[in-house]
Amino acid sequence: MYKINCLNKISPVGLDLFTDHYEMADQFNEADAVLVRSSSVHDLELPPALEAIARAGAGVNNIPLDKCAEKGIVVFNTPGANANGVKEIVIASLIIASRDIFGGVNWVDSCKQDPEVAKLVEKNKSKFAGTEIKGKKLGVIGLGAVGVLVANALIKLGMEVYGFDPYISVDAAWNLSKFVKHAKSLEEIYRECDYITVHVPLTDTTKAMFNKETFALMKDGVKILNFSRDALVIDDDMIAALKSGKVGRYVTDFPNPKVCGVEGVITIPHLGASTSESEDNCAIMAVRELMEYLENGNIRNSVNYPNCDMGVCTHAGRIAINHRNIPNMISQFTATVAKENINIPDMINKSKGQFAYTILDIESPSTPELAQKIREIDGVLKVRIIK
Ligand SMILES: NC(=O)c1ccc[n+]([C@@H]2O[C@H](COP(=O)([O-])OP(=O)(O)OC[C@H]3O[C@@H](n4cnc5c(N)ncnc54)[C@H](O)[C@@H]3O)[C@@H](O)[C@H]2O)c1
Ligand SMILES: O=C(O)CC[C@@H](O)C(=O)O
């Protein structure tokens, strides 16, 4: 029986996929596998029995990826599963950044007792007038699952779209509209665009990418949308840029005490992926990833281990090994199995950075003794008997 702990509320559409071999665990430290959305795992002690963590979403900055990898804990995310939800809220945000819809609605509410409200509206509505997005220049930074959908959709709404992503994947490049202009540098986006929307992960290189130096390169009155992570922006610099008029509006999905209530900031309570469709898609993908890993040893969509897939085991035994990506590991595994006079009809080994993963299919059922011998090899981080 596998024990699953949920650190956040996960859609039942996903949880219902777990079979009778699974039960929910109330405690993190009892779990074989964990499902999480935005809760932080950084301060939690990682229990030795924990095999995997699946992030029902894209961003994994709430999970200590290397610390997990060191303990042989595979971390998954759900690429693209919530991208449409984010795309739609970005479209809405471009419009609310351009027209004072919230200001107008709040003002009308304040006039609700006035029998002349209809007349009042016609007299005062010009205070809330805005501009259209059609024909304006939009810079999309990060052309992954979300960025590509955003860029393509806004082309269709008549914007002139510039895209910047030096690491764009082949799939994303195939899916990107040919009408998106290829920006060769961030400076080009900053120089040209009336609106900038950012869709990159929070990493050491993207952290604080919006700061006083980069604002200085932008057009006066530029409108900035942040549906990625708050730490991409230096809030004090953003507030100063809003005050000076350099930035016209800042729409962020990440409220914090500095930006909440500041004039020109529209704070949304992290709703980018909060649609029933996105929540269901993420939960389904995350649960499937965990089941595949726990039951068959296969890794799909990991962010700290290589993807590795041998299908369902058709041999007598299967052993899965999380280990360091260093010389002489495979020969030691095969020698250990050979010493037991067991044949290896099939195997796979993949690496990602400092970590690697090997699946051995063997011609007799795996035993705890064999698993222990492999565990004792220097550089091995975790060994699991799959069959
Ligand atoms: N607000 C929300 O609810 C919500 C929902 C989904 C994703 N997100 C955030 O948005 C981010 C993007 O999501 P996604 O699904 O598109 O992820 P993704 O991994 O599909 O795409 C990220 C893209 O950013 C690019 N990139 C990385 N570093 C870059 C850099 N320095 N400059 C330009 N491009 C760079 C990558 O090459 C990749 O194409 C996530 O990491 C997450 O933080 C937020
Ligand atoms: O789980 C959520 O609601 C937010 C997810 C989002 O920030 C992501 O990175 O996928």
Q: Give bridge partners of residue 265 from the DSSP assignment.
A: 250
| ipTM score for this prediction | 0.99
Do 18 and 158 have their domain in common?
no
> SS3 for 314-356, per residue?
CCCEEEEEEEECCCCHHHHHHHHHHHCCCCCCEEEEEEECCEE
Ligand 2 contacts CB of residue 211 (under 6 A):
no
Specify if 108 maps to a domain.
no
Do 167 and 44 have their domain in common?
no
Q: Which of 212, 241, 267 is the last residue in one of the domains?
A: 267
Q: From the CA of 272, how far away is ligand 2's center (Å)?
A: 7
Per-residue pLDDT averaged across 138-161, rounded? 98
Do 318 and 384 have their domain in common?
yes
Specify if 350 maps to a domain.
yes
The 346-352 sheet, strands edge to edge: 346-352, 355-362, 317-324, 380-385
**Residue 85 confidence (pLDDT):** 98
Per-residue pLDDT averaged across 112-130, rounded? 94
Q: Which of 303, 323, 353 is the last residue in one of the domains?
A: 303
363: domain CATH number is 3.30.70.260
Residue nearest to atom 39 of ligand 1 (CA): 144
Terminal-residue alpha carbon distance, the chain: 14
- Residue 30 structure tokens: 């009892």
Q: pLDDT (tens digit, 9 = 90+) per residue, 166-193?
A: 999 999 999 999 999 999 999 999 999 9
Q: How far apart are CA 314 and CA 81, in angstroms?
A: 31
**Residue 311 confidence (pLDDT):** 97
Atom number of ligand 2 nearest to Cα 60: 9
Do 163 and 76 have their domain in common?
no
Q: Name every residue whose Cβ is closer than 8 Å to that of residue 237 and which is 6 or more positions away in sequence.
A: 210, 211, 212, 215
Q: How far apart are CA 187 and CA 369, in angstroms?
A: 59
Distance of CA 169 to the CA centre of its chain: 15
Specify if 121 maps to a domain.
no
Residue nearest to atom 35 of ligand 1 (CA): 142
**Residue 171 confidence (pLDDT):** 97
Q: Categorize the per-residue pLDDT at 235 as very low, low, confident or very high, splitting at 50, 70 and 90.
A: very high
Do 263 and 288 have their domain in common?
no
Atom number of ligand 2 nearest to Cα 271: 3
Ligand 2 contacts CB of residue 54 (under 6 A):
no
Q: pLDDT (tens digit, 9 = 90+) per residue, 81-96?
A: 999 999 999 999 999 9
Q: Categorize the per-residue pLDDT at 33 as very low, low, confident or very high, splitting at 50, 70 and 90.
A: very high
CA nearest 197: which of 237, 244, 160, 251?
A: 251
Do 362 and 278 have their domain in common?
no
Specify if 115 maps to a domain.
no
**Residue 152 confidence (pLDDT):** 98
45: domain CATH number is 3.40.50.720
Q: How far apart are CA 237 and CA 228, in angstroms?
A: 18
- Residue 238 structure tokens: 């953003």
Residue nearest to atom 2 of ligand 1 (CA): 272
* Strands 380-385 and 317-324, bridge-based pairing: antiparallel
Do 10 and 35 have their domain in common?
yes
Per-residue pLDDT averaged across 97-104, rounded? 96
Q: Number of structural domains, the chain?
A: 3
**Residue 365 confidence (pLDDT):** 96
Do 87 and 33 have their domain in common?
no
Residues with CB under 6 A from ligand 1: 57-59, 79, 82-83, 86, 141-147, 164-169, 172, 199-202, 205-206, 227-229, 253, 270, 272-273
**Residue 336 confidence (pLDDT):** 98
Number of neighbours of residue 230 by Cβ within 10 angstroms: 16
Return the SS3 of 299: strand
**Residue 362 confidence (pLDDT):** 98
Atom number of ligand 1 nearest to Cα 147: 16
Specify if 361 maps to a domain.
yes
Query: What global pTM score does this model have?
Result: 0.96
Q: Which of 239, 267, 295 is the last residue in one of the domains?
A: 267
Do 244 and 285 have their domain in common?
no
Q: Categorize the per-residue pLDDT at 47 as very low, low, confident or very high, splitting at 50, 70 and 90.
A: very high
Q: From the CA of 254, how far away is ligand 1's center (Å)?
A: 15
**Residue 118 confidence (pLDDT):** 94
Q: From the CA of 271, how far away is ligand 2's center (Å)?
A: 8
**Residue 251 confidence (pLDDT):** 98
CA nearest 266: which of 246, 251, 245, 248?
A: 251
Do 285 and 364 have their domain in common?
no
- Domain span holding position 382: 312-387
Specify if 277 maps to a domain.
yes
Do 28 and 136 have their domain in common?
no
Do 328 and 288 have their domain in common?
no
Ligand 2 contacts CB of residue 59 (under 6 A):
yes
